[in-house]
A and B are shown apart, each in its own frame.
Chain A
Amino acid sequence: MDLLEYQGKQLFARHGVPVPEGKPARTVEEAVAAADEIGYPCAVKAQVQIGGRGKLGGIKIANNSDEARQHAGAILGMDIRGLTVYEVWVEGASEIASEYYASVVFDRSAKAPLVMLSTKGGMDIEAVADEDPDAIARLHVDPLLGFQPFHGRRLAYEAGIDADVVRPVGEMLAKLYTVFVAEEATLVEVNPLIVTPDRQVKALDAKVTLDNNSLFRHPDNAELRDLSGEDPQERMAHDRGLTYVKLDGNIGILGNGAGLVMSTLDVVKGAGGEPANFLDAGGGSKSDAIVSAVEVILSDPKVKAVLFNIFGGITRCDEVARGLIEAFAIVKPTVPFVVRLDGTNDKEGRALLAEANLPGVYAEATMDGAAAKVVELAA
């Protein structure tokens, strides 16, 4: 789960990472009240998960209440590369002497957290990594040992930051590592990490990605939502515990297991079709999950035909068949379904479907055959 800037900063503040004082606002009145309380000058920042929002008019400095009102009015509701701004973050404006970059990422390849620090902050760090890789100091941390003060010093000296802020920058890195571990993040990134003219070190931005699988241990974080980035079908699927990604085509897809579903998308595309979605009903899907999945798929009006591609291991084909029969009773689909069932309890599943004789449901024996059939039906 990707957090908005202000949600990340609120997590930072909880762990003692210095951030400018600020408040979130969803209306112009709230924004003005927040600005008056924080004092001027202050920054009004659009809360969307997209880089470069400043250049697109999503960040403005207000010197008084009138300007705060004007900027909040302009930014709230604005469209930034397809995302609507529902919230702004109002924070005290900061003076900047230096801009650095700092991050902690979950390095899958090394199977360890990777901490990075660079003096080339405030710009696209991927471009820096491409053009001047030596400008980024990197260090893997043994997760059983944790981040030690000497790690902070090593990174700070290697990155070449100003000598007088080595200690506070090292402390900042230690705190960011604490956020990474305590909140079970897979990414904690600060760009820019600033040094003010009076030599204070602060996180001026926050990009945090949390591990969805750990949210049961972090009920407060589980409540955090980003209204701007969510597609209505994706939200519906999320609320029902399904993994759904909306795509552009007209063939609804349901499968079990991410690998098989991706492979199904590839095969359908290879057969000349365009998938409308990725939907992984997950391992061990019970019939009610299948009913939910059918509702989510059919809530996309572009869907002209649906393909069920199931190879049961932990998923039992008879449960899938029961779910489909139930879904037909509840949802009464008007588009054709192609169903391929193999694996655990496949004979029972196929027998259930044959007996139910649902209208517009075609059984296919192979994945290739099922893909060809659904493409023909959607044409």
Chain B
Amino acid sequence: MSILIDKNTRLVTTGITGSEGTFHTLRNRDYGTNVVAGVTPGKGGQNVDGIPVFNTIHEAVDKQGANTAMIFVPPRFAADSILEAEEAGIELIIAITEGIPAHDELRVYQIIKKNGRSRLIGPNCPGILSPGKANVGIIPATFFKEGNVGLVSRSGTLTYQVGNELAQQGFGNSTIVGIGGDPVPGTDFIDVLRLFQDDEQTELIVMCGEIGGDAEERAADFIGEYVTKPVVGYIAGFTAPPGKQMGHAGAIVSGSSGGAAAKAAALEAKGVEVGRTPTEVAEIAMGKLGA
């Protein structure tokens, strides 16, 4: 098994005719993902390398049975596209778009929660890869093979870095989930930790956080209550000066709260070993599973 995406995934990409949308959708298809449709308003009836393009997500669901959406439209249109996918009955919405206004994210999050019929991953995330099964998003899949480590991260490129270190130690992955670094992620660490705990294929979980917010602290509490599988942690930003915003809306430290040391301590208090570098994370994982 894997979590969230697999051979049953039927993907529609919104913004498929943009250069990035085309490039990554075709890469996802090359990997083996079942890409059934694309959506660009006004370009219905065209196709992108054989993938049919529709004007609305509703059509992509009706005609092609899409059950997963990848959002690739520019930030000013992204909230609308996510809500369209939600209303069209898409179960899993993966929003790659970076730079969506915070108030849009808040509204989208609350509507999805209220209606309770879709799960949103991201926005501002690299997507999901279940090696050997499906890839939805921008994760460079060639670095990863199928295996027993579940990886969840707030940062895209850091996911690749840590995943690559694990791969060099011989580990494969059940699923890699990038939840995104924005202030209001649709899915947080806790949701993904629960899925990995309940997934048979996953034997060890690696969780990569970063400074800012309290998602890691809340995840630590959840691990203490619910997770029995070994968890290895990593936190980026130990040397970041306080009060400086480091790019992600998420990556800001104010005073002592949200700092890397506090997050590492919260995780360690629940028995999670926290590596200080990506290489060390892989070494700790090695010690736990002896791959």
Q: Which residues of B contact A270 (CB under 8 A)?
A: 276-277
Q: How far is the CA of A261 from the CA of B210 in the complex (A)?
A: 11
Alpha-carbon distance A142/B107, docked complex (angstroms)? 9
Tell me the complex Cα distance, A308–B11, Å.
Answer: 34
Asked whether A272 is an interface residue with its Cβ less than 8 Å from the other chain, the reply is no
Which chain A residues border B226 with CB–CB below 8 Å? none
Tell me which of B76, B138, B214 contacts A314 (CB under 8 A).
B138
**Complex Cα gap A203–B98 (Å):** 35
In the complex, how many angstroms separate the beta carbon of B248 from the nearest chain A beta carbon? 4
B289 at the interface (CB under 8 A from A): no
A211 and B106 in contact (CB under 8 A), knowing A259-B208, A263-B161, A266-B276? no
CA–CA, A143 to B107, complex, Å? 7
Cβ of A163 under 8 Å from chain B: no
What string of 1s and 0s marks CB contacts (under 8 Å) between A194-223 and chain B?
000000000000000001011011000000
Looking at A270, A280, A313, the one whose CB has the most chain B CB atoms below 10 A away is A313
A-facing residues in B102-131 (Cβ within 8 Å)? 102-104, 106-107, 109-111, 114, 126
- Given contact pairs A108-B213, A111-B110, A112-B106, A258 touches B247 in the complex (Cβ within 8 A): yes
Contact A258 B103 (CB under 8 A): no
Tell me the residues in window 227-272 of chain A with beta carbons closer than 8 Å to chain B beta carbons. Answer: 243, 245, 247, 255-263, 265-267, 269-270
B156, CB-defined interface residue at 8 Å? yes
Q: How far is the CB of B45 from chain A (nearest CB, A)?
A: 28
In the assembled complex, A8 has its CB within 8 A of some CB on chain B: no
Q: Which residues on the B side are within 8 Å of A184 (C-beta)?
A: 101-103
Q: Indicate if B46 sits at the interface (CB-CB under 8 A).
A: no
The segment from B55-63, B193-201, B238-246, B265-273 found at the interface with A is B238-246
List, in ascending order, chain B residues with CB within 8 A of A214's CB. 101-104
Contacts A214-B101, A261-B246, A266-B238 given; does A255 touch B157 at CB 8 Å: yes
Contact partner of A263 (CB less than 8 A), chosen from B96, B99, B278, is B278
Question: How many residues belonging to A are interface residues under a CB distance threshold of 8 Å?
Answer: 51
With a CB–CB cut-off of 8 A, which chain A residues contact B210?
258-259, 262
Residues of B within 8 A of A111 (CB): 106, 109-110, 184
Q: Are A213 and B101 in contact (CB under 8 A)?
A: yes
Q: Tell me if A284 counts as interface (CB < 8 A to partner B).
A: yes
Q: Which one, B106, B238, B241, contacts A106 given CB within 8 A?
A: B106
The distance from the CB of A321 to the nearest CB of chain B, in whole angstroms, is 16
Contact of B236 (CB < 8 Å), options: A259, A312, A342 = A259
Given contact pairs A112-B106, A213-B100, A262-B246, a sample of 16 additional A-B residue pairs in the complex whose CB atoms are under 8 Å apart: A106-B102, A106-B183, A142-B110, A144-B114, A184-B101, A184-B103, A258-B181, A259-B248, A263-B161, A267-B277, A270-B276, A311-B157, A311-B161, A342-B164, A368-B277, A368-B279
> Can you list 15 A-B pairs with a CB-CB distance of less than 8 A?
A108-B183, A113-B106, A211-B101, A258-B250, A259-B154, A260-B158, A261-B247, A265-B240, A313-B126, A313-B137, A313-B156, A313-B157, A343-B140, A343-B143, A343-B160
In order of increasing CB-CB distance, the 3 nearest A-B pairs are A259-B155, A257-B157, A258-B247
